Structure 1
Amino acid sequence: MNNLTRGMNQENHLRFFCFQVVEHYIRNHYNHENLAEQQRVREFLSCWIQLQCSQLGRQEATFLRNKAAQVFALVFVRDYPLFWADFFGDLIKTLSFGPQAVDIYVRVLKAIDSEVADQDIIRTHQEAERNAAIKNAMRGSCVEKLVESWYHILKTYETSNPELVNQCLEVIGAYVSWIDIALVANDRFIALLLSLLHMIESRESAADCLHDIISKGMEPLDKLQLIETLVPVLQNSGILKPLEDDETEFSCKLSRLVNGIGLNLIDAHNKLSKSGSAEQVALLQNAVERKVPIMIEFLSNDYDDVSAAVLEFAKEYIHMLKGKVMLTEEQLGYARSLLLTVVHKMKYDESYRFEQEGEDEATFQEFRKQLKVLFDNLAGVNKELVIEYVSEFTTNTLSEWRTASFQNVEIAIYLLYLMGEAIPASGGNHFSGDHTKVSAMQTMMHVLVTCDVSHYPHPAVTLQYVETVVRYEKFFNTEPEHIPYVLTAFLDQRGVRNSSPLVRSRCAYLFSRFVKCLRTLIQPYIKEILGPLQYLLVLVPPENGSSLISEDDQLYLYEAAAVMIVSGAFGAQQKGMLMSNMLIPVMDKFKTLVSQLLVEMDEQKQELLAQSLCHAMAVTSRASKAFTNHQTMKSCCCVPIFIEAMKVFLGCLQIPTQSRILQSGVRQFLHRMVVCLEEEVLPYIPQASEGLLKGNDIRSIQEYIPLIVQIIAKFKVSQFLSCVALFP
C-alpha cells in the first residue's frame, strides 16, 4: 500500500502486482484484522484517490484504475454498512476534486454493482444474503444521494467530457434494476437523457440507459404507464426512427430500444392475460400494436444489424397474433406488412460472395434463418395470407425472370421452397389435401419447371431451383412429363457441369436424391440418362489433377447410376451387364493404379495413389447401396461383378507401402459386401483377414473386430467356423 501511495513512478506491471497483493489481503485476511489495520486500509484508499487527483500525480492506466475500483468494492462489501456507514458520503465528497475523481467514482460504482447486484454471477447463499442486506441498507440511506450525484455528473460534463457521461449512464443502467424507478424515471432525468440522445458522443449510451430503465422489473400496469409516458416524448423528439446511413451504430441502439419497449409490453400483456381484467388486457394489446409500425420501420432498414435488433419483438408479436381466434383488419394489415418486410430482408445483397463465403456471408445466413422463423410463424397466423402472397409473387416473378434481378428470382423460388415447412402437409405430400394450398403449389411448381428459369446465369438461382424440385418431388407424380427436363438440367451446364464448383457439388447430391425418390417414374428415361452420365463416372488419376466432379460428389453419381440400373425395367441379365459396364472400368483403373504404386518411390505420390485406390473401392461400395431387400444383388445377376471386384481389391493388401490407407478402403468395401452378398463372400474372408492383420498391431486388430462381428451376426457361428481354420 505504501508503494501505491508513495508516488506513481513505478512501472505499471509493478503497480498492478501491488494491487493484486492488496486484493489478496482483503479477500483472505481483512475480516480477521483488528480495527486499526482495517482503518489503515480505508486511509490507503482515500490517500490513493487524492494522489490520483493531485497535480503532482499522473492518472493511472485504465486497467490499474479498474483494479483499484475492484479493491474499493471488496472493502465496501466487508465494511458497509456496519463499519463504514458513510462509504458513499466519503466517496461523493471526492467528486469536487474534478474529472479524475469522477472517473474513479463511477468505476467504483460499477465494481460494487458487479460484487453486489450482477445477476450473471453465481453467488453462494451467504453472499446472496449479504448482498440483499447491503442493497436494503443502500436503499434506506444513500441511494438518493447516489442518484443526485449521477445527475450532477451528467449536467456538469454533458458537453465537456462525454467519456465520463457514458460511464455514468452505464452505472445508472446497472443500478436502476434494483432502486426506486421514480428516482430516474422523472421529468428532469428524462429531459437530460433526451438532450444526451441528440449528442453524438453520448447518444448510444443514453439509448442503452433508457433500455435499462424500461426493462426494470415492474408490475404490468406500472410498466405500461412508464412506457406510455416515455414513448410519446421520444417520438416527439424525433428519436424513434432509423437515421442516416452513416449513423448505423446509433440506429442499432435505437432498434434495440424499440425491441425492449415491445418485449416489455408483450410480457406485461401475457402476465395480465392470466390474472388481469379484459379492459387491462385490451389496454396493453393496444399499447403493443401502437408500437408495431415503429418496429416494422426498423425491421425494414437497409442494414441487417438494425433489422436484427428488433427480430425478437417481431417474433413475439406474431406469436401473440397466433393466439387470436380472429384478427382485426388492423392486425391483418400488420401481418401483411411484416410478411412483405421479411421477404424484402431475405434477399441477397449485391456484395454477397457465393463462391467465397466468409464471416459476413455466415452472418447473413444466420439472419436469414431468423427471418424464416418469422415467415413460418406468419403462416401460422394466417396461412391464406401467406399462400396468396407467395403464389402471386412467385408466379409473376418467374414469368418475367429474364428481366428480373437475381435477388428477386432467387427469393421467388426460395419462398416456394419455404412453403413446405411453413405450411406442413400430411405425409409430406403438398399436392393433396387442402384445395387452396394444393392449387397454389401445383401452379407455382408448374411455372417453375416450364418457364426455363433453370437457365438463369447465377449460382444462387440454380441452387435454389434444384433444392426446390427435389423437395417437391411428389409434384412429378401428377405431372411426370416434366421429369426429362429436370433430369437434363441436373446433368448439363446448369447442374453437374456448371462452372461453379458449389453448384456442381450440390447438384450431384440432389441428383442422387431425385433419382432415388422417383426411381419408378424415371424408368422410361434411364437409357438416355446413363449415356451422358458415363463421362462423369470416369475415375481421374492423381497425376491429372482436379476433375469436374470431386471424389465425394462422384460417390453420389455412382449411387444414382446404380439405382437406375437396379430399379430400371430391364431383365436380370441386362441389369448385370449394365452394372458390369459401369464397374469394369473401375477395376481396370484400379489395376493400373496398383502397378503405378508398386514402382513409385516418392512418398507423397504413393499416398495420392493409395487414396485413388480407396476411391475406386468407395465408388464400388456406393454402387452396392442401390440393392434392396426386394431387388437383391443376386436377383439382379450382379453377384459375379462384385465378386470379381472383391478379388481385384483384395490384391492391394499385398502392397508393402501405404498399407494403413489401403486396409481402410478394403474394410469399408467388405462391410458392404457382407451386407449385399450371401455365402459367396465367405471364401474370401481368410484372404482378407490375412491381409488386414499382417501388421500384427493392436490398431489393426481393433479395426478388424467390427468386420468379424458383422460376419458372425449375419452368417451365424456355424457357417463362420467353416473358414476360421484358414485365418492367420
Structure 2
Amino acid sequence: MDELALQGLGPHADAQSHQRAMQYFEQLKSTTDGWKLCASALTSNAYDGQDHIKFFCFKVIEEYLKTSYVNSSAEGHTEMKAFLRTFMDIQLQRGRPEASFLRNKAAQVLALVFIVDYPSRWESFLTDILALLSYGVTLADLYLRTLMAIDSEVVDREIIHTVEECERNTQIKDHMRLQCVPAMVESWFHIVTTYEASNTELVSLCLQVIGAYVSWIDIGLIANEKFVSILLRFMTNVLLRESACDCIYEIILKGMEPASKMDLIQSFMSVLESAGILKTSDNDDECDYLAKLSKLINGIGLQLILCWQRLLKADDKAKQQVALQMLEAKVPLMLTFLGHEDDDVSGAVAEFAHDYITVLKQVSPLQPHQRDNVKNLMIVVMGKMKFDDSYNHESEGEDEAMFLAYRKELRDIFNNLGALDAELVLTTIQNFFTQTLSNWREAKYQDVELALSLLHSLAECLPSSKGQIFTGEGTKVTRLQEMMRVMVSSGVSYYQHSAVILQFFENVARYDKFFNIEPRYVADVLMAFLDERGLRNTSPHVRSRTAYLFSRFVRTVNRQHLAEYLEEMLKRCHDLLVLHTPAADNGHSNHQMSPSDQLFMYETAGVLIVHSSASADKKQQMMRHLLSPIVGKYDDLLQAMMQEQDEQRQLLYAQCLSQALNYASRTSKGFSVQNTVAQCGCVEVYTESLEVFLRGLDVPVHRPILHAGIRQFLHRMVVCLDSQVLRFIPMAIEKLLLNADARELHDFIPLINQVVTKFKAVICPYLAQVFMPIVETIFNVLSAPLDARDQVSAAERSLLQRSYYSFISTLITNDTAQVLTGQAADNLHTVLMTVTRGAVESPDVTCQKTCFNILTKLVTLWGGPESGLNGFVDFIYKQIVPACFMAPLAPSFNLSDAQTVLVVNETASCMKAILDKRGEECINFLNTNYLPTLNMNPDLCLEYTQAMHSDVKIFRKYLKAFFTRAKS
C-alpha cells in the first residue's frame, strides 16, 4: 500500500494529501489486483486501530464487487472466498468488535459477493455463515448485518432495480426458500433466546432482520406460538419492547389474503390486549415506546381498512361486515393514542384516523355508534390542535415548525370530518365557539385561538366554497354569520396575545364577504386594523401580517362600505407612510413597520384613493399628498449619497432610494381598466414623479440598486400611463444602456419588450434608431473575454442571450418587424445570422426554440413573393433550411429528451412555413440542391419532401423518426 497516499485519508489531512489519496483510490479501482492488495491489508492486522484506512480498503473491494467480480474466473472466486473466511477468522480472534460503520461495510461486501455467487457458484453461502453462529456474538452480529445488507440488495422495494436484477433477485429468494430459510428462522430464534438477557443490542438487530424478511417468507414460520410468545415477552422488556413492536408491525404488514390477514391481526390483538400491553402513559420516558405502539395500532387499522376495501371489491358482504366490525373495535384505541399529549405518539396514528373517515364516507348513512366515533374523533382533534404552553409565538424554531406541520395534518382530518358530517361539525364548532367567546376574558389563549382557528377552517371543510359561503339560504349560512357577528362584536380583538389577534385578522380577511352583507361592522374592523391591535401592535410579526391582511381587506370589501371612512383611514395611516432616511435615523432604525410591510401600506393607500368616490381633482390631491414626501426627499437623498464618504452609510442611502421607488411603484397598483390614471386625474402626479426619479440614472454610485428601482417604476408607468410615458423612454433607454453589464442588460430587455408590446407601431420610429445601439451593446457584452472559472458571469451571459432572442421575437410578434427592415442591409444580415446560429449552436434549448420560432415568423412575413425584402429568399435557402437540419443532427442534440424534441417540432413548423411561401420551388431545392449534400439517396429525399405535404403534427412525428434514423 502507498503509505504516503494513505496519510491523506486521515481526519486532519490537508486538501493536497486528500487529493492524492483519492487518486490512489482511483488507481486501485482501475488495476486488476487492487482489491487483493486491500484484502491483504484487511487480513494482515497492519492497520489495526486505523479505521479510516480499513474503510478505504473496503470501498475498493466494494467497487470491484460491483463492477468486475461477476466476470471473475474460478480462481478469482476462490480468492474472494478465502479472503472472507480469513477476515471472519480474524474477527473471531479480536478482543473487541470493529466500529459499527466497519461492520456495516463488511456486511455489505459479503452481500455483494452473495448476490453474484448464490446459488450458482456458492450455494452453501448462507449455510457456511450459519455455521459460524456457534462462535459467539461477533460473528452473530456480522451474520445479522449481512442479512440486512442482502435485504437491501435483493428485497428493498424502495430501491429501483433493472429487469435483469429483478429476475436475479426472484431466483435468489426462490432458492433461499427451498434451501435455507427454515434454518435461518431457527437461527433467529436461537439468537433472540440466547442473548435476551446478555446482549439486547444483538437481539434488537435480529428482530429488525425478522421484520425485514417476513415480507417474503412463509408467515407460518414466524406467526406461531413459539415466536409470538417470545415477542410478547419482549414487549414487557424496556430494552427490547421498541424493537419487538417494530417487528410485530412488519409481521402485520405481510401481504396476505383478507381473511388470513384478519385472523393474523385478531390473534395478535388478543394476546396484546390480554397481556395489558395496549395502554398509554403520560410518562415522558415512555414516549418513544408509545410512538412505536401507536405506529403498530396505525398499521393494524390501515391493514383492516385495506382488507375491507378488497372485500368490498369482491362483493363479499359477510366478511366485509366482519372487517368493518374489527376495524371499528380498534377506533377507541386509535382515539386514545391520537389524544396523547406527546405529538409523536399522536401523529403516528393520524393516518388511521384520516382513512377511517374515508371508510365512513363509503358506508353512509352513519350508524349511531359511527356518529359517536366521528364526534369523539372531532373532540380529540380539536384538543390536539391547541398550542402548548411552551410554544414560542415570537421566535418560532424547529419544535414550533414541527407542531405547525402536525397541526396541518389535524386540520386535514378536521376538514374531512366536515365533508363527512357537516351538520355535526358545524354544531360542535358553533357551541364551542360561542361558549369560548362569551367568556374570552377569562379563557386561556389556547382556547380562544382554537375557537377562532376552527371558524377559519369552516370555509374549507364545509361544502360551500369560500366565495359562496355567505350567499343563499340555510342554517349553515346563518350559523356562520352568527359566529362572525359574535367575533367582531365580542371585543375578542383586544385579547392580549399575538396568536389570538392574528387569527382574528385572518378570519376578517377570509370572510370579507360577511362585511358586504353586514356593513355595520366595517368601522369596528377598520379601527382594529389601524390601532394597537393591528398595524401598531407591539409584535413585529402581528404588524407585518396585518399590513398584508389590511391590503387584502380593502381590495375585496365593497367600495361603498369604505367610502365614508376613506379620509379617516388615510389620516390614521399617515405616520406609517413615511420614508425613513439614514440621516433621520442616524444609523439606528426603530420603525414600527419594516420596508416590506410599508409596501403593503402604500399599496393600500393607493387602492383607497383610486377606488374612492371622490372627484378626479380630489383623487389627484390625495395621490399627490401621498407621493410628495417620497418625491420631495429623492433629490436630497441622491446628493447625500454622492457626498457620503462612509461606504456603509452610502449603501443605506442607496437602499433608501430603492425603497422610495418601490413605494411609489406600489401606489399605482390600485389603477385598472375601470379606474385609469387619466380618469383619476393622476397623470401629472406620476409623470412629474417619473421626471424626478429618472435623475437617479446619472448617479454612478450603487448603480445596480438604483437602476433596478427605476426600471420597476418604469414598468409600472408603462402599464398605467398611455402615450404620456413615451417622452421619457428615449432618455431612460440611453442611460440604462450606458456601460451596462450582462445582468443589467438582461433586466433591461423586459422593459423594452413591455414598451413594444403596449405601444407597437407608435414606438417603431424611435426603436428603429436605437435598435442597433441596443444590439451592439448586447454583442459587446457577450463577446467580452470571460474567465472560464467564473460560473456566475457565464450564467448571466446565458440569461442575456436568452433575453436577446426574446427581444427579437417580441419585435416580430407585435407588428413591429419594420424596426428590422429599417436597418442597413449589413446590420440586418448580422442580426439574422445571430438567430440562425442560435438555432443551431446554442446549448440552451429555450434559445433554440425561440430562434426557430423567430425564423418561422420571418418566413411567414418576408418569405413570399410579395414581401419585397431583397435577399431574404436567398437567406432562406442558404441559412434557414440548413439550420433546420444541422440543429437536430448535431452530436449534442438528444432526441430522447422531451425538451429537445420541442425544438424538432419548431423546425417542422419552419419547414412547413417555407413550403407554404415558396411552394414547389422549395421542394425542387431540397431534392436537387440541398438533401443530396447530406448523402441522402433520391428515395429518402423524395420521402422527406412528400412528408412535408402532410399535416404538421404528422410531419413532426416523421421528423423525430427521420433524425433518429439519420443519427443511428
Cα distance in 2 for partners of 1:668, 1:32 equals 65
How do residues 16-415 of structure 1 correspond to structure 2 at under 5 angstroms?
16-54=55-93, 57-243=95-281, 244-415=283-454
2:563 aligns to what?
A: 523
Post-superposition offset of 1:81? 2.4
Shift, 1:237, TM fit? 1.3
Pick which of 192-201 and 235-244 moved more: 235-244
Cα distance in 1 for partners of 2:742, 2:272 equals: 73
Counterpart of 2:527 (choices 488, 496, 506) is 488
TM-score (norm 2): 0.73
CA contact under 8 A between 1:686 and 1:724: conserved in structure 2? Answer: no
Structure-2 separation of matches of 1:58 and 1:378: 57
What SS class does the counterpart of residue 441 from structure 2 fall into? helix
Q: Deviations over 1:299-328 (max 9, x none)?
A: 000001111101111111011111123001
CA-to-aligned-CA distance 1:242-289 (integer Å, 9 cap, x gap) = 232221100110011011001111111111110141101101111111
Work out the CA distance in 2 between the residues paired with 1:492 and 1:427: 28
CA shift in 2, pair 1:444/1:138, >3 Å:
same
1:211-252 deviation digits (Å, cap 9, x = unpaired): 000001111111111001111111111222223222110011
* Rounded Cα–Cα distance in structure 2 between residues aligned with 1:37 and 1:557: 77
1:539 aligns with 2:583: no
SS at match of 1:629: coil
TM-fit CA distance, 1:159:
1.2
What secondary structure is seen at the aligned counterpart in 1 of 2:133? helix
How far the C-alpha of 1:32 sits from its partner, in A, is 4.2
1:482-515 Cα deviation digits (max 9, x unpaired): 1111001001100010000000001111111111
After superposition, the Cα gap between the structure-2 partners of 1:236 and 1:661, relative to the gap in structure 1 and judged at 3 Å, is same
User: How many Å apart are 1:22 and its aligned residue?
Assistant: 3.6
- What does residue 752 of structure 2 align with? 708
Question: Alpha-carbon deviation of 1:67?
Answer: 1.9
| 2:889 aligned partner | none
| 1:429 partnered with 2:468 | yes
The CA distance in 2 between the partners of 1:58 and 1:550, in whole Å, is 61
Q: Which amino acid aligns with 2:268?
A: L
CA RMSD of aligned residues (A): 1.8
Distance change in 2, residues 1:628/1:140 (3 Å): same
What letter matches 1:63 in structure 2? Answer: F
Structure 2 gaps, min length 5: 1-38, 774-968
TM-fit CA distance, 1:723: 8.3
Runs of 4+ in 1 over 6 A off after TM superposition: none
- Quickly say closer, same or farther: Cα 1:696–1:9, change in 2 above 3 A: closer
Q: Distance in 2 between matches of 1:647 and 1:385?
A: 63
Residue 696 of structure 1 and its aligned partner are, at CA, apart by 4.6
Once structures 1 and 2 are overlaid, which stretch shifts more, 570-579 or 381-390? 570-579
What amino acid maps onto 1:464 in structure 2? Answer: Q
- Which residue of the partner structure matches residue 668 of structure 1? 712
The C-alpha deviation readout for 1:588-614, integer Å capped at 9, x for no partner, is: 122221221121122222221111112
What is the SS of the residue equivalent to 2:363?
coil
Q: Does residue 1:552 correspond to 2:596, yes or no?
A: yes
* Superposed counterparts of 1:630-709, under 5 Å: 630-709=674-753
- Among 508, 533, 541, the residue aligned to 2:547: 508
For residue 579 of structure 1, give the secondary structure of its aligned residue in structure 2: helix
Q: Deviations over 1:64-100 (max 9, x none)?
A: 2222212222222223223333322222221111111
User: CA offsets per residue over residues 619-671 of structure 1, 9 Å max, x none?
Assistant: 11111111121221111111111111111111121222112211111111011
The residue identity in structure 2 corresponding to 1:400 is: N
**Alpha-carbon deviations, 1:415-472, whole Å to 9, x = none?**
0000011114257131223511111101100000000000000000010000001111
SS of the residue 1:520 aligns to: helix
The answer (yes or no) to whether the contact 1:597–1:606 under 8 Å persists in 2 is yes
Cross-structure match for 2:654? 610
Amino acid at match of 2:220: A
Asked if 1:448 corresponds to 2:492, the answer is no
CA distance in 2, matches of 1:351, 1:153: 45
> Which secondary structure state, in structure 2, belongs to the residue aligned with residue 401 of structure 1?
coil
Q: Distance in 1 between matches of 2:340 and 2:235?
A: 20
Shift in Å at residue 36 of structure 1?
4.8
Q: Is the 8 A contact 2:47 2:53 kept in 1?
A: no
Distance 2:326 2:415 in 1: 25
Q: CA deviation at 1:567?
A: 1.6
Q: Which of the pair has the greater relative contact order for Cα pairs under 8 Å at 6+ separation?
A: 1
Cα contact 1:252–1:309 (8 A) shared by 2: yes
| Amino acid in the other structure paired with 1:151 | F
In 2, the alpha carbon distance for the partners of 1:481 and 1:261 equals: 54
User: Relative to structure 2, which stretch is displaced further, 125-134 or 444-453?
Assistant: 125-134
Report the Cα offset of residue 31 of structure 1.
4.3
- Give me the whole-angstrom Cα distance separating, in 1, the residues matched to 2:104 and 2:383: 46
Residue type of the partner of 1:532? R
Instruction: Describe the shift of the 1:489–1:101 C-alpha distance in structure 2 as closer, same or farther (beyond 3 A).
Output: same
Q: CA deviation at 1:719?
A: 4.5
CA distance in 1, matches of 2:603, 2:72: 79
Structure 2 residue 599 is the aligned partner of structure 1 residue 562 = no
Equivalent pair of 2:55/2:102 in contact (CA under 8 Å): yes
* Superposition deviation, residue 6 in structure 1: 3.8
- Give 1:126 shift: 1.8
TM-score (norm 1): 0.97
Is 2:666 the counterpart of 1:628? Answer: no
- Equivalent residues of 2:459, 2:466 under 8 A apart: no
| Equivalent residues of 1:241, 1:254 under 8 A apart | no
Q: Does 1:573 align with 2:611?
A: no
1:696/1:205 Cα in 2 relative to 1: closer, same or farther (>3 Å)? closer
Q: 1:567 to 1:79 in 2, by over 3 A?
A: closer
CA distance in 2, matches of 1:270, 1:29: 48
Distance 1:6 1:550, change over 3 A: closer
User: What residue is the counterpart of 2:837 in the other structure?
Assistant: none
C-alpha separation between the residues in 2 aligned to 1:267 and 1:242?
Answer: 26
Checking the alignment, whether the CA contact within 8 Å between 2:460 and 2:466 is kept in structure 1 is no
The Cα of 1:57 is off from its aligned counterpart by 4.9
Checking the alignment, whether the CA contact within 8 Å between 1:8 and 1:57 is kept in structure 2 is no
- Paired residues in the alignment total 727
* Bigger shift: residues 400-409 or 100-109: 100-109
The 1-side partners of 2:725 and 2:56 are apart by 73
Q: Is the 8 A contact 2:419 2:463 kept in 1?
A: no
> 185-194 vs 578-587, which deviates more?
578-587
Give the residue type in structure 2 aligned to 1:521. Answer: H
Distance 2:768 2:701 in 1: 27
* Alignment check: 8 A CA contact 2:41 2:47 kept: no
How far is 1:145 from its partner? 0.8
Whichever residue aligns with residue 173 of structure 1, its letter is: G
Q: 1:30-53 CA deviation, whole Å, 9 max, x = no partner?
A: 444444542343233233323222
Distance in 1 (alpha carbons) for counterparts of 2:740 and 2:42: 68
